[in-house]
Chain A
Amino acid sequence: MYRYIAQRLLLLVVTLIGVATITFFLSRVLPGSPVEMMIGFHPTAEQIAAAKKELGLDQPLHRQYVRFVSEAIRGDFGISLRTKQPVVEEIGRRSLATIELTLLTTLLLVVVGVPIGVISAVHSNSPVDHTVRTLSIAGVAFPVFIVGMLLQMLFYGKLGWLPLQGRLSSEVYLDHPFDRVTGMFLIDTLLARDYVAFRDAAAHIVLPLATLTLVTLPLVTRITRNLMMEVLQEDYVRTALAYGMPRRVVYYRYALKAMLIPLMTVVGLTLGFLLGGSVVVEFVFDWPGLGGYVARSIAASDFPAAVGVTLVLASAYLTVNLVVDLLYFVADPRLRRA
């Protein structure tokens, strides 16, 4: 097992180096003019030349690569051309906003989506099941930004219950400063025992959270249902029933345990998907996370940011995958080599 972990970690490092190299060369080869982006709208020819020099773009490609690698190893991805802030610092700040949102979404998906899928499978072909399946097909058909805007119109425009955008209200940002211990405002405000700020942070996360959950829920529900259906076909489920085990116990203890393993993969993948894929939600709700940063960096040919964020996302994704694979070992005795 330790050997396996070591192998996987090595593979992770190799993959990351590959990803870094590919993104580096892609960012230099693709059209787009980072320099012009960096110096605004009306630069002079001298300014453009100076900026190129500053970025090292006047050097041959292999020199640029060497410089990039040596800086990246030191955790320095340079300064974003678009926001002119250090890439590492910005990614750090933004990934925490993203993590706050995605972890909560994943939690909701597990708490809400998985039971719905299980119930749907256990009562397959019942009215409950049909309703769930119809809704989940309808749900997939709704684009993310439509869901987000509809929620905004309803809960802000019509009902006035929830704020529209941002992570906190202007006044709370100003008048309720708190230590950014974790970078996740729900936790930080509680640690600071600032309930006004907490309430505000909670109110602000509701709509993005709901949107992200709603749009991912159908998928999770459907996958869970299918997984559960498969498990219910298993002979050992029939055995348990044949020996007088109550269905409740069979479904929710035995079958669920078997399903949790593939489900972990699904949750892991969802988490990975959410980490990078919440672009639209972040845009609609002005949630200062990674998704929007990625999208804008790429659109603006901001290659230090794009390369940095690609690496961070790739590492996160690979790590989640690794963790899921290791959980397999814990959960499935068949994989634990005696």
Chain B
Amino acid sequence: MDRLKHLLAALGTALAVAFSPGASAAGTVTLLDSFDVIDWDPAIYYSAETRVVLNIYETLTHYNPDTGEAEPQLATSWSVSDDGLTWTFNLREGVKFHDGSDWNAAAAKANLDRVREMGKGAAYIWDAVTEITATDAHTLTITTSYPAPLDLVASSQYAATMASPAALEQGTDWFMEGNAVGTGPYRLVQWEKSQQVVLEKNEDYWGGWSGDEFDRVVYRLVAEVATQVQMLRGGEGDLMVSTAPADLLHQLEGDPDLVVGVFNSWLNIPLMINVGMAPTDNRKFRQGLTYIMDYAAIANDIYGGYGSVPKSCVPQAMWGSGEHDVAQFDLDKAKMLLEQSGVPKPWKVTYHAYTGRQEIMQIAELYQALAAQVGVEVELLTGEWPVLWKKQTKQESAANMFAVLWWADWPTPAGWLETMFRSEDPIVFNFSHYSNPDYDVVLDEALRLQGSDQAMAVEKFMEAQRIAYDDAIAMCLVDLQKTILHRADLGGVDYNAAYETVSVYNLRRM
């Protein structure tokens, strides 16, 4: 009874004051995101978590997209033995984790050993490694069974971030409760599930502070893009971490309060052609199919100009992509090749188009319309991504064609040329079911060389691509750009194709 009275009294007092929504508090930057963090364990996370955790954790090296090379971060310098099998990293001194413990070679070893032992997420990037040794407090030695570009591997946004050894001791369950202890500029202070994640400035950050950075970062979880835009306009949000659809960005062009940042990315869309099922088991026929696509329309209309016609199935922003004769729109040539193929009419192909991304569907419909003009009937089969993925890996349930949005885990063309094109058993991502020993031999050479001689590796990657494109196992549909919508008064918005995040350390209120 007392409690009830209490409640009623409180209700009265509380309602007496009116609500007034306001802009973000000074010193706080609010980033709007549509996905909650799922995996907090640095050895496991393998998805959109990077948006948050890459502001908490750091890696040994950091990829520079302009040079295509690794630069120092938690390691200050490194060297590799002449045989390319032994790497020595000199670690930065005086760095502390958020829990106050020291960053040193033992910590680095603990992280990498744990990743390799658990074998989760992107752990495969360390496959070449045989042993990791803490030679002294600040020297880490890693030996590999074959030459691998460990300086680039170490810059990966997955499976390469460094957490405090004390945190690692606590284990996955502890991480999953919403814990993170890194060396980065911000530390985790709150995870309100499905509502928000909050980070605060790490005063002792080794990189130092100039004073005008943000003290607090709020990742506010907002499912609807339309709602996010309203919050940006209302000043409640500063930046949209999720990518807004191109048509929306164009609508907002006239808004003086908002700015669209456009950056190079490693996102592209290969349209895989199944070589294991009729009629696409016919090479000429496949070649014909590749000419039936208005590539410019994808870049300019479907992606509203935030994309470009590709020159390779590896994005141009990635080293080793090169320029190839792909993405040519020519219906006459298509028709000629199809006729020459000897595939009896009527020509009919199946096409897997997954739901949830309107552009994937629009591309499929565009292809269907164009193919009809040269007498190819395209049957669209739709479904959720995981469903179609699984279907495409089995020849009984696969379609002739399957377009997928793709990116690389770490800075290497292998993210496409190995993961999607190399022979595979069982099939995971080789949606073309392509198995060509010639291709495999050249590619394997490239993979071996990328650890020691990048120039030679590039040449081999080129050769491998020529084989694949000649076999017409995929159409390279579009190279995408990363767009970031933010308020005009937010400065320092930058994007590095190797890291799916916005670095809050660089942000300023202007």
- Contacting residue for B14 out of A50, A152, A166, A195, CB 8 A: A195
B220 & A170 in contact (Cβ 8 Å cutoff) = yes
A36 & B390 in contact (Cβ 8 Å cutoff) = yes
B195 & A84 in contact (Cβ 8 Å cutoff) = no
For residue B227, CB closer than 8 A to chain A, the reply is: yes
**Known: A44-B124, A47-B119. Is A286-B227 also a contact (CB below 8 A)?**
yes
- Contacting residue for B46 out of A40, A45, A187, CB 8 A: A40
CB distance from A296 to the nearest CB of B (A): 9
With the chains together, A233 CA to B226 CA distance in Å? Answer: 50
- Which B residues touch A200, using CB under 8 A? 19
List 10 A-B pairs, minimum CB-CB distance, nearest first.
A40-B46, A203-B19, A33-B386, A288-B194, A195-B14, A33-B390, A198-B14, A170-B218, A190-B10, A36-B386
Interface residues on B, range: 35 or more
B38 & A82 in contact (Cβ 8 Å cutoff) = yes
The 0/1 profile, CB within 8 Å of A marked 1, for residues 1-41 of chain B is: 00100110011011101111100110010100000101100
**Known: A166-B195, A200-B19. Is A85-B10 also a contact (CB below 8 A)?**
no
Given A42-B419, A198-B14, 19 extra CB contacts under 8 A: A33-B387, A39-B46, A39-B120, A40-B47, A41-B46, A46-B119, A47-B120, A149-B226, A157-B234, A160-B20, A161-B18, A171-B25, A173-B190, A173-B195, A195-B10, A202-B15, A203-B19, A283-B223, A288-B193
With the chains together, A291 CA to B411 CA distance in Å? Answer: 40
B195 & A193 in contact (Cβ 8 Å cutoff) = no
With the chains together, A169 CA to B15 CA distance in Å? Answer: 17
For residue B409, CB closer than 8 A to chain A, the reply is: yes
- Which A residues touch B222, using CB under 8 A? 165-166, 286
Q: What are 23 A-B residue pairs whose CB atoms fall within 8 Å in the complex?
A: A32-B386, A33-B390, A36-B389, A41-B47, A42-B122, A42-B409, A83-B36, A93-B193, A94-B194, A153-B230, A157-B230, A161-B19, A162-B21, A164-B231, A166-B195, A170-B198, A171-B25, A187-B7, A189-B14, A199-B17, A284-B224, A292-B223, A299-B384
A50 & B7 in contact (Cβ 8 Å cutoff) = no
**Known: A83-B38, A163-B21, A286-B223. Is A199-B15 also a contact (CB below 8 A)?**
yes
For residue B262, CB closer than 8 A to chain A, the reply is: no
The 0/1 profile, CB within 8 Å of B marked 1, for residues 181-209 of chain A is: 00000010111010100111011000000
For residue B236, CB closer than 8 A to chain A, the reply is: yes
- Which B residues touch A34, using CB under 8 A? 386
With the chains together, A257 CA to B224 CA distance in Å? Answer: 44
A162 & B10 in contact (Cβ 8 Å cutoff) = no
Interface residues of B in 390-417 (CB under 8 A from A): 390-391, 409
User: Taking each of A32, A34, A44, A301, which has the highest tally of chain B beta carbons within 10 Å of its own beta carbon?
Assistant: A44
- Which A residues touch B20, using CB under 8 A? 160
For residue A43, CB closer than 8 A to chain B, the reply is: yes
A44 & B383 in contact (Cβ 8 Å cutoff) = no
With the chains together, A217 CA to B221 CA distance in Å? Answer: 29
B124 & A199 in contact (Cβ 8 Å cutoff) = no
In the complex, residue of chain A having the shortest beta-carbon distance to the beta carbon of B226 = A149
CB distance from A168 to the nearest CB of B (A): 7
For residue B452, CB closer than 8 A to chain A, the reply is: no
B19 & A42 in contact (Cβ 8 Å cutoff) = no
Binding site for B on A (CB under 8 A): 31-34, 36-37, 39-48, 50, 82-85, 90, 93-94, 149, 152-153, 156-157, 160-171, 173-174, 187, 189-191, 193, 195, 198-200, 202-203, 283-284, 286, 288, 292, 299-301
B17 & A156 in contact (Cβ 8 Å cutoff) = no
- Which A residues touch B196, using CB under 8 A? 166, 170, 173
With the chains together, A37 CA to B428 CA distance in Å? Answer: 13
- Which A residues touch B221, using CB under 8 A? 166, 286
B119 & A190 in contact (Cβ 8 Å cutoff) = no
User: Taking each of B13, B419, B424, which has the highest tally of chain A beta carbons within 10 Å of its own beta carbon?
Assistant: B13
With the chains together, A36 CA to B46 CA distance in Å? Answer: 12
With the chains together, A40 CA to B49 CA distance in Å? Answer: 11
- Which B residues touch A165, using CB under 8 A? 222, 227, 231
For residue B453, CB closer than 8 A to chain A, the reply is: no
- Which A residues touch B194, using CB under 8 A? 94, 286, 288
With the chains together, A156 CA to B196 CA distance in Å? Answer: 20
With the chains together, A192 CA to B192 CA distance in Å? Answer: 19
CB distance from A226 to the nearest CB of B (A): 35
- Contacting residue for A45 out of B122, B384, B389, B428, CB 8 A: B428
- Which A residues touch B390, using CB under 8 A? 31, 33, 36
A160 & B21 in contact (Cβ 8 Å cutoff) = yes
CB distance from A11 to the nearest CB of B (A): 35
In the complex, residue of chain A having the shortest beta-carbon distance to the beta carbon of B17 = A199
With the chains together, A187 CA to B176 CA distance in Å? Answer: 28
- Contacting residue for B193 out of A40, A85, A166, A199, CB 8 A: A85
With the chains together, A160 CA to B233 CA distance in Å? Answer: 12
User: Taking each of A33, A170, A300, which has the highest tally of chain B beta carbons within 10 Å of its own beta carbon?
Assistant: A170
- Which A residues touch B214, using CB under 8 A? none
B383 & A152 in contact (Cβ 8 Å cutoff) = no
- Which B residues touch A195, using CB under 8 A? 10, 13-14, 17
Interface residues of B in 167-217 (CB under 8 A from A): 176, 189-190, 192-196, 198, 216
With the chains together, A29 CA to B350 CA distance in Å? Answer: 24
For residue B342, CB closer than 8 A to chain A, the reply is: no
- Which A residues touch B3, using CB under 8 A? 191
CB distance from A51 to the nearest CB of B (A): 9
In the complex, residue of chain B having the shortest beta-carbon distance to the beta carbon of A283 = B223
B46 & A33 in contact (Cβ 8 Å cutoff) = no
**Known: A44-B124, A93-B193, A283-B224. Is A37-B14 also a contact (CB below 8 A)?**
no
For residue B121, CB closer than 8 A to chain A, the reply is: yes
For residue B254, CB closer than 8 A to chain A, the reply is: no
For residue B347, CB closer than 8 A to chain A, the reply is: no
- Which B residues touch A45, using CB under 8 A? 424, 426, 428
CB distance from A287 to the nearest CB of B (A): 9
- Which B residues touch A149, using CB under 8 A? 226
- Which B residues touch A199, using CB under 8 A? 14-15, 17, 19
**Known: A40-B121, A164-B231. Is A85-B195 also a contact (CB below 8 A)?**
no
- Which B residues touch A37, using CB under 8 A? 386
- Contacting residue for B387 out of A31, A93, A161, A286, CB 8 A: A31
In the complex, residue of chain B having the shortest beta-carbon distance to the beta carbon of A149 = B226
- Contacting residue for B19 out of A162, A288, A292, A301, CB 8 A: A162
With the chains together, A195 CA to B14 CA distance in Å? Answer: 5
- Which B residues touch A173, using CB under 8 A? 190, 192, 195-196, 198
With the chains together, A191 CA to B269 CA distance in Å? Answer: 54
With the chains together, A109 CA to B3 CA distance in Å? Answer: 26
A174 & B190 in contact (Cβ 8 Å cutoff) = yes
For residue B469, CB closer than 8 A to chain A, the reply is: no
- Which A residues touch B220, using CB under 8 A? 166, 170
